[in-house]
Amino acid sequence: MAHVSWDEAKHWRERQREQGRQVVFTNGVFDILHAGHVDLLSRARALGDVLVLGLNSDASVRRLKGEKRPIVPEVDRAVVLAGLRAVDRVVLFDEDTPAELIRHLLPDVLVKGGDYTPDTVVGRDTVEAAGGRVVILPLVEGRSTTNVVERIIERYG
């Protein structure tokens, strides 16, 4: 199964809590998976015992990034991400931000990449109010979906 429902994720998260495990959460589009994504997910997972990844649905991506995105459909993105060693669960969300999903799951650790500051992390207040923490991880220089797409256009136009 590539992704789980919100309720399945919540029940799974509750079982993790009962077993004393720290649940880490991060989110994003993850369109055209690259080394920067894998690095961020591995480092996020290392901050706890398990990692839940909130994945923007296709509709959400189109609203945020325009009609030409995503390049890779949500089901395919979910399959690829679920296959990574660092990722324990993938949960799709249709909203523009993961705020509602974060409230639903209440992770122990909320992780975002270095293109964010603590003040700009959606869900920060929710996680911190529940006793959790927010961690900003530096990004891998020069690794982004935009860079990959630009290289493809340069080479194959």
pLDDT digit string (tens) for the chain, length 157 residues: 689 999 999 999 999 999 999 999 999 999 989 888 999 999 999 999 999 999 999 999 999 999 999 999 999 999 999 999 999 999 999 999 999 999 999 999 999 998 899 999 999 999 999 999 999 998 776 656 666 666 666 777 7
Confirm whether 49 is domain-assigned: yes
pLDDT at position 43 is: 97
pLDDT at position 145 is: 63
pLDDT at position 32 is: 87
Q: Can you give the residue range of the structural domain that contains 119?
A: 6-156
- The domain that holds 86 is classified in CATH as 3.40.50.620
Confirm whether 149 is domain-assigned: yes
pLDDT at position 143 is: 59
Confirm whether 108 is domain-assigned: yes
Confirm whether 111 is domain-assigned: yes
Confirm whether 117 is domain-assigned: yes
Confirm whether 113 is domain-assigned: yes
Buried b (16+ CB within 10 A) or exposed e, 15-31: ebeeeeeebbbbbbbbb
pLDDT at position 106 is: 98
Confirm whether 1 is domain-assigned: no
Number of domains in the chain: 1
Looking at the chain, how many residues does it have? Answer: 157
Token duo for residue 5: 């429902």
pLDDT at position 18 is: 97
pLDDT at position 53 is: 98
